[in-house]
Structure 1
Amino acid sequence: MKQTKHPYQTRIDPLWIIFGSLGIVIVPFFIWASYARIDQISHARGQVIAAAKTQEIQSAIDGVVEKIFVREGDHVKKDDHLIVLEKSQAQAAYEDSKAKVAALKAALGRLKAEVYEKPLVFDDSLKEYPEFVENQKALFQRRQRALNDDITALNESLALAKEELSLNLPLLKSGDIGATEIIRLKRQIADLKGKISNTRNKYFQDSQAEMTKAEEELSTKKQELVNRTITLERTTISSPMNAVVKNILVTTQGARVRPGDVIMELVPSGDELIIEAKISPSDISFVKRDQPAAVKLDAYDYSIYGIFHGTVKYISPDALVEQSQEGEKYYFRVLITMKQIELLAKNDRTIELTPGMTAQVDIITGNRSVLTYLSKPIIKTFSEALHER
C-alpha cells in the first residue's frame, strides 16, 4: 500500500534535540553555580592543651623522699598531697625553736610584771608549755621574796637608827654626847634610805635590762621559728591547683632531692581547654583572628557526636619549626577556643576534654561560588599555558 506524506510534517534534526537537552541542563546549572557558595577551608591537625601552661612541681628544700601519693594520670585537687619528704630533722628543729619562743614569752610575762609592778599574765600560747609558766611563777615569787626581805631588813635597820637618834637628841642638849654622834646617826639613816632606794632601783633596772634582752632575743627566735615552720611545711609537697599528674620524674622512695629539682609535672584541669593547631605556611595568609573553625575530636566519632565549633583566637607572629621524619617542618601556631556549651552535653553525654587529645581542625577562611571553584583549574591552566619562556 502506498504511503501518503502529510504536507506539513517536518523532520527534526537529532542534534537540535541533543543541544536543547544540554541547554536545559547546563543553563540552570550555570545559574545555580554562579550563586551557590562553598566554604574555603584550611585543614590542620590539632591537639587539646590547657590554657594555663604545664606546672613543674619542684622541691624547695634538700630532702629524702619518704612517700609518693600519686601516679601518672591521677586527678588531684588543690592542696592534695603529692610527695612527703623525710621530716624528722625539720620537725625536731621546729619543736626546738617553738620551745625557745615559748620560754622567752614566759620570761617576758614575769619580767613585765616585775618592771611594771602588775600581776603575772602569760600568753595564751603557753598553754602547751605549763612547765615554763610554773617555773617563771616560782622565779617571780622568789625574786619578790628576796626583794621584800632585803627591803624589810633595811627598813628595820632604818627604824633602829631613827630610834637611836631620837634617844640621843636629849643627851646632846644635856651635853652627855657630842654633836658628832648625832651627825653619825643622821648619816646612817640617810645611808639606809639610800640603800632601800638603790635596792628597789637595782631590782627594776635588772628586770628592765633582762626584759629588753629577752624581747630582742624573742624577735630573733620568732623569725627562726617562721623559717623552720616553712621548712617543715615544705617537706609536704602539695598540688597548687586542680590538675592531672602528667609526668613523675622522682619515682623512688629514699631518693634524694635538692632545691630546684623538678619532681613531677601537672597539667591544670578545670581551666579553659583550647585547641593548638599547626597551620601550613601556604595557608597562613588566609587565616585570621575570630574566624570560625570546625573541630573533629579523634576521641569522639564525629558521625555520632558531630562537629564542635570554635574560634581562632591567636596566630603566632612568626613560623615555628619542628623536626619530623622528612626533616625540618615549618608551621604557624594557631589557638582555637571551644564553645563550652557544646562540651557540656552532646547526645546526652558530657564531653570530657583531656590535654593531649588530638583533633582534625578545619578553619573556615572564606567562601566562593561553585562556578569560581570549577573554573579555577581551567583559568590557571590557560594562564600558565599562554606564557612563553
Structure 2
Amino acid sequence: MDEKYPVEKEVSGIEATLGVSFAKKPNSRFFVTFGLIVLVVFFGGFALWSTLAPIESAAIASGKVVVTGNRRTIQHLEGGIVQRINVRDGENVHKGQLLISLENTQSQAAFKLTQGELYRLMSIEARLSSERDNAKSITFDEKLEQAANTDPKVKALMNSQETIFKTNQASFLGNISILEQQIIQLQEQIKGAQSQLKSTIRQYNLIQEEVAAVKELAEKRLIEKPKLLELQRSAARLQGIRGETVSKIAVLNQKIGETKTKIHTMKADRLKEILSQLRESHQRIADLMKKEIIEGDVLKRTEIRSPQNGTIVDMKVHTIGGVIKSGEPLMDIVPEEQLVIDARISPMDIDIVHKGLIAKVDLIAFKTRNTPTLEGKVISVSADSFTDETTGELYYKAKIELDESQLSNLSKAQELYPGMPVQVMVITDNRTLFSYLTTPVIDSFGRAFREQ
C-alpha cells in the first residue's frame, strides 16, 4: 500500500466527508491546498484580531444642545406704558443694550423731588457742620459739588447756605464781641477803682500819721481839739471811700464773671442748637438717601436693558403706548455663550458614566452624510435621577462640553442652535471582541461555582 503525504491524507478525508473525488479533476490538489491556506489565514487572522483589536464600549444617550447660561425671560417689576421699542424678534443684542423705553414722567418727577430735597438738606448739613467747627467757610460734600456743576438749582442752594453761614457767623461773633467789649470796659473800671483805692489808702495813711501828731499836741494843749476832730473826720471819710472802692471792684469783677458766663452760655446754646439740627438733618438725609435709591432704581428701570449678549426670541411687546403689567414676560433672550450637550443617561448605564469620559456626538438634526461626529467630554453627571413628566421614564443628567476645535469643522448650514437634538455615545471602555464573547461565559461560570 502506497504511503500518502499528509496533505493527501487531509484531501482523502475531505473527499470521504463530502462524498466527492478531487482526483478526477486536473490540478485539484493545488486548489485544495490554496483553499486550506485561505481558511487558515482567515480564521487565524480573525482570531488574532478578536484578541488584539480594541472595540469601544459606549453608553448611548439622547440629548439636546443647550447653552451654559440659561434662556432669560425679560420682565418688568412695576409695569408701565411703552414709549419706545428698540428691538425686534430674532435680533442679536449685547449686554446693556436698550430694549424698551417706558414713560418716565411720574418716576422722574418723584426722583427729582426727592433728590432736590436731599441736596437742600445736604447743603444745610454742610453749613451746620462748619458752624459747629467754627470754620471760616463751608466745606460742601463732593456729591453736591459735582451736582452744582450741572444743576444751577444746586449751585443756588449752596450759595444760599453760604449767605446764611456768613450772616449767622457775623451775628454770633457780633454778640460775642459786644460782651467782650463790656468785659474790657469793666476791666478798665476796675483798674480805675484800683488806682483810686491806692490813692485813698495813701491819703488815709498820711492822715493817720497827722492825727497821731495832732493828738499828741492836743494832749499837751498846744493846739485846739477841733483840729484833731477835723482830721479824724477826714480819716473816717477816706476809710469809707476805701470800702466803697473795694466794694465797687468786687461788683465789677462779678459783672465780668457774669458776662463771661453769658458768653459761654451763648456758645453752648448755639452749639446745642447746631447739634440738634445736625441730628435731625442726619436722620432726614439718611431717609432721603434710601428713598433716592429706590426712586432712582424705579426711574432706571423705565429703560429696559439686556442683561447679557444674546438673541431676542418670543417677543410679546409690539405696541407703542401699550400697557405692561407688573411681572409680565416681555421677551426671552437666548444667551450667546458656550454650547454644551445636555444628555439623558439611562439608569442602567449610570454606574459606568462619570465625569471626564470622552463622548461622541451625532447631530441627528442634519440629514446629510457629510455631518461630522463631534467629540466632547463629560463635565458633570447629576447625583440623583430625574423623571420625564411625559413618559415617566427615569434618567440622569449629564453635561458634555464640546471641543471648540471640532466646531470649526461644521459648515455654515450646520450651525448649532440651542434645543437641537443629538445622539450621544459616551465611551466607557475599550475591549476586544474576544473579551466581549468570553466575558459572559466566564461570568456565568463564576456565578455557577459560587452557587450552593
- TM-score of the two chains, using structure 1 as the length reference: 0.72
**Which of 281, 286, 289 is residue 222 of structure 1 equivalent to?**
289
Structure whose residues are more often helix by fraction? 2
Query: How far 1:309 moved relative to its partner?
Result: 1.3
Matched, 1:240 2:257: no
Matched, 1:307 2:373: yes
Distance in 1 (CA, whole Å) between partners of 2:298 and 2:354 is: 50
Q: What is residue 354 of structure 1 aligned with on the other side?
A: 417
Q: What is residue 339 of structure 1 aligned with on the other side?
A: 403
Query: How far 1:99 moved relative to its partner?
Result: 2.0
Q: Is the 8 A contact 2:352 2:428 kept in 1?
A: yes
CA offsets, 1:217-250, max 9 Å, x none? 3233223323333333333333333333344455
**Which of 300, 325, 333 is residue 257 of structure 1 equivalent to?**
325
Q: What is residue 159 of structure 2 aligned with on the other side?
A: 134
CA offsets, 1:322-359, max 9 Å, x none? 366xx65555544322111111x227879753212233
Query: How far 1:157 moved relative to its partner?
Result: 5.4
Q: What is residue 146 of structure 1 aligned with on the other side?
A: 171
Change (3 A) 1:291 1:15: farther
**Greater alpha carbon shift after TM alignment, 234-243 vs 178-187:** 178-187
Matched, 1:31 2:44: yes
Query: How far 1:118 moved relative to its partner?
Result: 1.4
Mind listing any 5+ residue stretches in structure 2 that lack a counterpart?
1-21, 149-153, 201-236, 439-452
Max Rg structure: 2
Query: How far 1:367 moved relative to its partner?
Result: 6.0
Q: Which amino acid aligns with 2:140?
A: F
Distance in 1 (CA, whole Å) between partners of 2:185 and 2:427 is: 114
Q: Is the 8 A contact 1:299 1:358 kept in 2?
A: yes
Q: Which amino acid aligns with 1:357?
A: M
CA offsets, 1:200-230, max 9 Å, x none? 4433332233233323332332233233333
Q: What is residue 104 of structure 2 aligned with on the other side?
A: 87
RMSD: 4.4
Q: Which amino acid aligns with 1:29?
A: F
Q: Which amino acid aligns with 2:117?
A: K
Change (3 A) 1:368 1:157: closer
Equivalences for residues 130-209 of structure 1 within 5 A: 130-154=155-179, 179=244, 182=248, 190-209=257-276
CA offsets, 1:274-330, max 9 Å, x none? 122345566667656544333232466664352211234444556544366xx6555
- TM-score of the two chains, using structure 2 as the length reference: 0.63
**Which of 122, 147, 172 is residue 140 of structure 2 equivalent to?**
122
**Greater alpha carbon shift after TM alignment, 262-271 vs 153-162:** 153-162
Query: How far 1:139 moved relative to its partner?
Result: 0.9
Q: Is the 8 A contact 1:33 1:371 kept in 2?
A: no
Aligned-partner SS, 1:304: coil
Distance in 1 (CA, whole Å) between partners of 2:436 and 2:253 is: 129
CA offsets, 1:52-72, max 9 Å, x none? 33334443x323153443344
Q: Is the 8 A contact 1:33 1:370 kept in 2?
A: no
Change (3 A) 1:363 1:217: closer
Q: Is the 8 A contact 1:65 1:257 kept in 2?
A: no
Distance in 1 (CA, whole Å) between partners of 2:374 and 2:110 is: 57
Distance in 1 (CA, whole Å) between partners of 2:104 and 2:304 is: 12
Q: Is the 8 A contact 1:293 1:311 kept in 2?
A: yes
**Which of 17, 24, 36 is residue 11 of structure 1 equivalent to?**
24
Change (3 A) 1:188 1:322: closer
Query: How far 1:189 moved relative to its partner?
Result: 5.2
Aligned length: 362
Q: Which amino acid aligns with 1:106?
A: S
Q: What is residue 106 of structure 1 aligned with on the other side?
A: 123
**Greater alpha carbon shift after TM alignment, 262-271 vs 45-54:** 262-271
Q: Is the 8 A contact 2:372 2:410 kept in 1?
A: no
